[in-house]
Structure 1
């Protein structure tokens, strides 16, 4: 597979400043991700905390989660390693998106695999890859669909039927209705062209759905299929056995919760004073936990004597929450701390949004008497399909064009196809018409009636509208003349910038699996892609 690594353009975001090692943002993180010595120092720090980890108990829970029929020998091997003192982990995570979610979820998993493999070899110590599935999340709208391109080149949202009664239920608690899911998958398959690979992915996905009893399990089964042979350990953060294991950590988090909130808020203020947009906003009374009520996840607000749910108004004492840890779940801040409590985390693989969040968390880790792990930026990849590669050459595009609006570039290209004088002549005509009209309007309004001034202005506007109509018809004829090239532009846009976003944030693996099989994904995993520092990789299919 041909690959090109290109520097992504600099922006004013926190994530970009971190990737480019801007000193003021880097100072918020204890480790530089592209410096070898960071991993050695972090490993020493983990060794000092070895007694804090419940390795045997954690691995026992993970072995139960990785049922024998789903477990690849490499996963079993890595679970054995994780049980041993001195083994560290590289962790990345995501919500349980349908059919694995957007492509960047897979790129995050690839980064986890490659970073763990690289550091195990370099450090001479076991390092295992872990993928954290955020099963407690309840924002179903983010994960209940995939985008497909129809025959006309338009992006269509293929959404799973939503049950409004499940709006705040953790994703791991949403039952997968087998027949309904099978129908949804078949509808999706019907919208994709018949290829040699169609029956392959359809068989795999239907088998994954048949094994799963909830949405998170469905996601996990697909991840097993894609990455099991690379030994990726999966964990569902909403697993009841995991939650029981977390009880002492929840107790400590609850004791420190207000101080954590204050310190994160202070860091967010510092980030704003540096001139960056704060990555999140915080209510001063916001507690950084959710509690399950009648199966729904309710946000908690802090009070003097305990906590109260934001929406339902129910009160909970500190002891109420500790007594039933299975009802608790973390939020975007405390989730990072819980990962650190459970796993000896060498590095956390983060997307741009996560990097921005983690910039505010350093002092929260200190409050919990530990240290933030190395935060490693995930791989950014664009898949270049053969047709898109041809069109890219056809229009002589540069790599910088990938990060600008291709739709705007298409319109600029079209503008250049018009006769150079055409636009100027039409604008000149409108100007001359106004010049001719104004003296007539002024004379008639003064000599006959001021009412004629209004009528004259409206009449002028109608003439302008007719000129605009003439201009649009000219554009239409020119577009028809260049319709093949414009269609080629649309092919590039829908493949590389669907919905005016980078491909990795919209497209799912299924259309690519359907068209090309999975050999390209295996090549991405097996090639060393971590050499660039924040570069964007273009992979030719």
Structure 2
């Protein structure tokens, strides 16, 4: 297992690079940097304020009913009852059949981070939590997954929280997917996973919970669903303040403006009211305030101030936090000390610190998740034969060959010298032109511009010819990048866990787990053993 710097991956934003290097200008937007020593201090802070343990354990136990919990899961559920237990959390949409492979990286990082913290100290217990984004309503973002060059789609009438969607129709989708897989143990295991999750559940929430459970139960991971009336009841004071005072709009806008002034890109923009209203049938729509009334967009539902507060107290399950308030909801109901997410996720959390402070909730440690490139031993051997560095796997084949030409081509090396000689000739002509008239001086300048432009065209034509001469090596590099799914972006965002060659799924997951570096910020390159 090797690493390259995040900068050399050419993928991470300036904000994320500045964050991991702890630049001074970024420090106002987070509480503590997630060095290993920060977790105990964060746990001390969190537990001074946390009061919802009994409710959390009761609801989580209820949500996990029906699953055959592993010994580690049972232990972690019991640990959550203890006053010195905290959590580390990651979250994800309910992507069909997990979606891209980075789904595994963020979950396994949470698990490994908890394990290492539990091993290194005994003051606090750390429990890994997966937050299921059951209330998202963007079905088009989660209704597919990529399998090789094919995209498997689930076509369905939809609306409202995706977690409440019926799994009806998924059998046909997965049967068509399984039909194209070659016979073997891996196909049998994938079939068993699908059968035990999607084919054995009534809703997408149930299916995803079971799938995540089957994949990670032996690591002790616990899954939580925020679409829960009892848990939302804990948010009534916050939701009421959000509806009546629109405070988060002010706090988040202030932080977003400060980030923007520093030249960073803004990830999310707050609404005046950062809540949706879940109505029947299949509806999750924004709440807006206009003309002294509260309206639910795209419906006929409207409330006076007194009416909407009454509904909030009677039916808190109908109110759903958007991207701004969801992190606050999570940190209110969980004894959480750290959140692990991708670059885009962490970037929008930077806009939220003042809102957390305003609502009196400790701001968690923000951990940039591991990124990983998986290669086989055979692909590594190809890379070595092509004399490619690990950093080259994050570049285009053309740029790699062009750099090689610039460094090693004798013809290309001659060009700067010839250009200097040409410029020297025109320098001499300019000295002569100073002794003659203006028209000759202008002619010299015009010829200088023309000849140097022509020289640049020759230079480009020469490099093009050299590229053509090196077309075979160019093609071999391009083929390797395509094998790795790195030719147009990052492998982790396009490859699915079923795309990789392995004999046993659990062995494959363990190999990824072993490669995870929970407290480091590098891009991991994981070379798989042949017997996985």
**Equivalent residue for 1:385, pick from 368, 376, 387:** 376
How far apart are the structure 1 equivalents of 2:83 and 2:62?
20
Check the 8 A contact 1:147/1:508 in 2, yes or no.
yes
Structure 1: give runs of 5+ residues left out of the alignment: 150-154, 425-470
Change (3 A) 1:391 1:144: farther
Aligned to 2:484: 495
Which residue of structure 1 lines up, in the alignment, with residue 194 of structure 2? 205
1:406, 1:497 within 8 Å by CA — same for their partners in 2?
A: no
Q: How does 1:252-267 map to 2 (within 5 A)?
A: 252-256=238-242, 258-267=246-255
2:523 alignment partner in structure 1: 536
Tell me the equivalent position of 1:463: none
Matched, 1:358 2:349: yes
Compute the displacement of 1:502 (Å): 0.8
**Helix, strand or coil for the counterpart of 1:246?**
helix
Q: Contact between 2:99 and 2:146, CA under 8 Å: does it hold in 1?
A: no
Within 5 Å, which residues of 2 pair with 1:417-432?
Answer: none
- How many aligned residue pairs are there? 467
* Displacement after TM superposition at 1:410 (Å): 7.1
CA offset at residue 105 of structure 1?
1.1
C-alpha distance in 1, partners of 2:478/2:177?
26
Question: What's the RMSD between the two structures over aligned residues?
Answer: 3.0
1:409 Cα deviation after fit: 4.5
Change (3 A) 1:506 1:527: closer
1:302 aligns to what SS in structure 2?
strand
**1:88-487 superposed matches below 5 A:** 88-124=86-122, 125-149=124-148, 155-160=149-154, 162-163=155-156, 165-166=157-158, 168-177=159-168, 180-238=169-227, 242-256=228-242, 258-283=246-271, 286-293=272-279, 294-303=281-290, 305-312=292-299, 314-316=301-303, 317-406=308-397, 409=400, 486=475
Q: Is the 8 A contact 1:89 1:347 kept in 2?
A: yes
Q: Are the equivalent residues in 2 in contact too, given 1:384–1:496 (CA < 8 A)? A: no
- Cα offset, 1:137, TM superposition: 0.6
Rounded Cα–Cα distance in structure 2 between residues aligned with 1:41 and 1:108: 23
Deviation (angstroms), 1:95: 0.4
CA deviations on 1:418-464 (whole Å, 9 max, x unpaired) are 9989xx9xxxxxxxxxxxxxxxxxxxxxxxxxxxxxxxxxxxxxxxx
TM-score by length of 2: 0.80
With 287-296 and 394-403 compared, the bigger mean Cα shift is at: 394-403
Could you state the TM-score of these two structures normalised by the residue count of structure 1?
0.79
1:198–1:234 CA distance, 2 compared to 1 (3 A): same
Q: Secondary structure at the match of 1:169?
A: coil
CA shift digits 1:318-348 (9 cap, x unpaired): 3333322111111111111111110111111
Structure 2 residues without counterparts, runs of 5 or longer:
416-460
Shift of 1:364: 0.6
Q: Distance in 1 between matches of 2:496 and 2:86?
A: 31
Q: Sort the Cα spacing of 1:260 and 1:304 in 2 relative to 1 into closer, same or farther, 3 A.
A: farther
Are the equivalent residues in 1 in contact too, given 2:164–2:203 (CA < 8 A)? yes
2:511 equivalent in structure 1: 523
